[in-house]
A and B are shown apart, each in its own frame.
Chain A
Amino acid sequence: MIRVVVSPANIDLAAEMALAEANGVGAVATFTGLVRADPGVVGDVETLELEHYPGATEAALEGLACEAQTRWSLASVTVVHRVGPMRPGERIVFVAASSRHRGAALDACAFLIDRLKTDAPFWKRETRSGTAAWVEAREADDDAARRWT
């Protein structure tokens, strides 16, 4: 089962976990990303806004989910990404992989979040002290994605 959701709605962890656990397998690995306040010289992040490329974003996430299913024996893959405005502490992304045993589930979960960071068209814009700025891509994310190639 592949579940990909790109939506402005809050991410409902209990509902997503229930779906991931409904596959009758022994292991579910998950990752949840939260919006950081990330204190900086111009103050904390007040709001974070996520822009995406409708259609292409969902296709990229489905492509990653399929690649994970090819690389590991998985019962299910879930990728939920929030878009639009959000505040520090709120969930921005949730990834889950379920399998018979923990090894495949844990590796697939790490693969999904690492590659999502570099392969899916999302752009973050943060507002600090009333001023908005686009977030720059990080080289550390490219390095993390490369370890799966």
Chain B
Amino acid sequence: MAIRMLYFAWVRERVGTGEELVDPPASVATVAALIDWLAAGSPTHAAAFAERGRLRAAVDQVFVSLDAPIEGAREVALFPPVTGG
């Protein structure tokens, strides 16, 4: 099932878009696996996601760790550590 990817801050700038629809195979089961699959398919994504330790994620708008499952997810967001306030 297609997943709506959202990117924010420098992740958005490095990917080159703030939003895209992707359709990973069923074997892609976690956020980390999704990042690997996106990176394998495009050098731009691979460069954007190179610093894995600086990436944070949300699945359907809930903050999760990168090992969180994505089964049934409609929206996955990737972004740097937050800096509000």
Which residues does A use to contact B, with CB under 8 Å? 33, 50-53, 55-56, 59-60, 81, 92-93, 113, 116-125, 134-138, 141
Contact of B9 among A59, A134, A138 (CB under 8 A): A134
Q: Cβ of B84 and Cβ of A50 under 8 Å apart?
A: yes
Whether A33 contacts B85 by the Cβ 8 Å rule is yes
* Other A-B pairs, 14, CB within 8 Å; known A119-B63, A122-B82, A123-B80: A50-B84, A81-B84, A81-B85, A117-B84, A117-B85, A118-B82, A119-B82, A121-B8, A122-B85, A123-B9, A125-B9, A136-B83, A137-B80, A141-B85
Please tell me if the beta carbons of A53 and B85 are within 8 angstroms of each other in the complex.
no
* A51: B residues at CB distance < 8 A: 8-9
Instruction: Say yes or no for B38: interface residue by CB 8 A criterion.
Output: no
Interface CB pairs A-B, < 8 A, 18: A50-B84, A51-B8, A53-B6, A53-B8, A53-B77, A55-B61, A92-B85, A93-B84, A113-B85, A117-B83, A117-B84, A120-B84, A122-B82, A123-B9, A124-B83, A125-B9, A134-B10, A134-B80
B9 vs chain A, min Cβ distance (A): 4
Please indicate the chain B residues that have their CB under 8 angstroms from the CB of A138 in the complex.
Answer: 83
